[in-house]
Amino acid sequence: MAFVETYQLSKSFGSFTALSKCSLQIEQGSVFGLLGPNGAGKSTLIRLLMGFMTPSEGHAQISGLDCHRQSLQVRQLTSYLPGDARLDRQYRGKQILKLFTGLRSDGSLQKALEMADYLELDLRRKVGSMSTGMRQKLAVTIALANQAPLIILDEPTANLDPTVRQQILGLLRRKRDEGKTILFSSHILEEVESISDTVAFLKHGELITTADLSTLRNNHRVTGTISGVLPSIPDSLTEQIRIIEQDDINLTLEITGDILNGLTWLQSTGIENISIEPARLRSLYEEIHPERQEVDV
Amino acid sequence: MKSMLSRYILQGRTVFLSCALAMFAFMLLRVWSITLLGSEEFREIIKHFKDFEKFSPVPFSQLITYTGRVARTFNEPIVLFVILIWTISRGSDTVAGQLNRGTMEMLLGNPVSRRSIYWSQFLVTTAGTLALASLAWLGMVVSVHLNTV
């Protein structure tokens, strides 16, 4: 059985369906990225996993424990960073770390201090006088300063500058190398791509697709210009080549698997200005959210 | 639970200390002021208000004695006020404060039950109220011993 498993998980608020029939599995030790625009149901899914809400339908399990009914045990196994992480303003950084690490049997102040040092946090300052980015860093430190086997982060890099974003991704990589399972949501494709094993796309509360990034990396996207008519794709390649976009001049297609066969055929079509790049999440994202290309970064 | 308690103690510390100071100081001053003023003049006056005795916190027979006047200190609005400030500030914080500030979710991300959160808040609030009441009494005792009639 997978470490995290949801079955037909749904949540409605009145007539509004925030999450509808979401079934997914996350293996132990993998990094799972949740992608989707605002309001897609990412946070709802995460909150259902933490047991904060009663599912309207279906159920979720973490390590065989029911997320809602056995929430306390589930939270023992999980460390969590809310999407809108707020901390009491009157405390100093170090006090906050002490308070939160004291809440967990596996919390370590020592570890928290090391992490804060790595993130260049000034722990003498009061939370109230910290910038948004610093507060987020502090919250991430709190979420990661323990030994929980599952780490759930709701948009951990929101509000952060690129440098800090990289630092936090670095921390997550370290956690991954320790064998922790990580589930995190984001709407920045590049960061999801850089550390995830599997990606799930949510849209309007529905799980559109899950993609294994290692196979995604095998795909290539070819763009070029073509004068005249594009000859039809030979039968031997129809499995491999897929036309994504085509107008009078421009052509975009995707080649799955070994790229060389496809290229030989392409050469015969007289395609020009060819550029080849690994098919990334972006192509998948654009397929799912054609009207929303401007969403990320 | 222990760390939850220390969290809320830390959170309420400032309000509690100021309430405690106000309470203790008021009791000291109030008892001291009683020793300065005589009240024999009122003996005749209160006779006319015999019908209102039931509204008095202290029986009229003791109202103008030193003990009676010291006892009436507990009936001062400021005593009630200090207790109210403490309980309202803590009590409203129990639920509304955390939900508003979004800190509840951060707390609940850890293996703590909602029940232990509310219980520790309740304990801190109640213990604080008891401490304030005891301080009022203590301030009075200290002042009674310091001052002579």
Q: Judge contact between B29 and B44, C-beta under 8 A.
A: no
φ/ψ of residue A270, rounded to 5: 75, 30
Q: Judge contact between A279 and A293, C-beta under 8 A.
A: no
What pLDDT, in 10s, does the model give residues B18-28? 999 999 999 99
What is the CATH class of A218-278? Answer: alpha beta
A56 in B contact zone (CB under 8 Å): no
Q: Judge contact between A208 and A201, C-beta under 8 A.
A: yes
- Specify the CATH number for A4-212; select among 1.25.40.10, 3.40.50.300, 3.40.50.180, 3.90.1260.10: 3.40.50.300
At B49, which amino acid appears? F
For A217, the token pair is 């990396």
The DSSP H or E segment spanning B129 is helix B114-146
- Residues of chain B above pLDDT 70, percent: 94
Coil/strand/helix, residue A34? strand
CA distances from residue B27 to A239, A258, A294, B114, B143 in whole angstroms, order as listed: 90, 88, 67, 38, 7
ipTM of the complex: 0.74
What pLDDT, in 10s, does the model give residues A22-60? 999 999 999 999 988 888 889 999 999 999 999 999 999
Beta bridge partners of A78: A150
Interface test with B, best of A74, A75, A88 (most B CBs within 10 A): A88
Residues of B in contact with A104 (CB under 8 A): 110-111
CB < 8 Å from A in window 48-107 of B: 101-103, 105-107
Q: What is the dihedral of CA A230, A235, A239, A241, to 10 degrees?
A: -20
How far is the C-alpha of A37 from the C-alpha of A185, rounded, in Å? 10
Q: What is the largest CA-CA distance in chain A?
A: 70
| All structural domains of chain A with their residue ranges | 4-212, 218-278
Beta bridge partners of A26: A4
- Residues of chain A above pLDDT 90, percent: 37
Chain A residue with the nearest C-alpha to that of B13: A90
With a cut of 90, say whether residue B8 has pLDDT above it: no
| All structural domains of chain B with their residue ranges | 2-44+77-146
Q: In the prediction, which pLDDT does B97 show?
A: 64
What pLDDT, in 10s, does the model give residues A210-246? 888 877 767 788 888 887 777 778 887 777 888 877 8
Residues of A in contact with B100 (CB under 8 A): none
